Structure 1
Amino acid sequence: MVLRARPGRDEAEQAVVHRLVAARKAPKVLVERCWMVELSWDGWLVSQIADEVEVQSEDGASLAAPLQSLGA
């Protein structure tokens, strides 16, 4: 099963995600999730994202699951 985040709704949503990825004072969990969404938008698979973000594939899939259920 291939998990991917849905494409950004519009330029504004994509800008918010990109801004959060670059944020220095945002919570780490939020920054990592936004980073995973950006990587998914770029076509990366869960295992590739997990390697890049340095989490286990199961953790990456479990972090991606709430995003999938929200349609993110």
Structure 2
Amino acid sequence: MKAITSLAVWTRQVGVSSCTVWRWRKQGWLKTVNIAGKLYLTAEAIEEFNDRASRGEFARQPVMPRREEACA
């Protein structure tokens, strides 16, 4: 049997909000398994996510606010 971790536990360990994890799942960055209505992560999914993050696949250029937005 593959090692699994509760998504809620992993979220606390990583130190991000549940909204952030929801966005990561929606974008396909984090693959979860639904078991009896609860979400879990396999060790392989966590490793894949960490590998992709360390390669910078999720990074994007910062967006500078337009002048009128910055002065408002």
Larger radius of gyration: 2
TM-score of the pair, normalised by structure 2: 0.29
More helix by share: 1
TM-score of the pair, normalised by structure 1: 0.29
Q: Could you say which structure has the greater relative contact order, defined with CA pairs below 8 angstroms and 6 or more residues apart?
A: 1
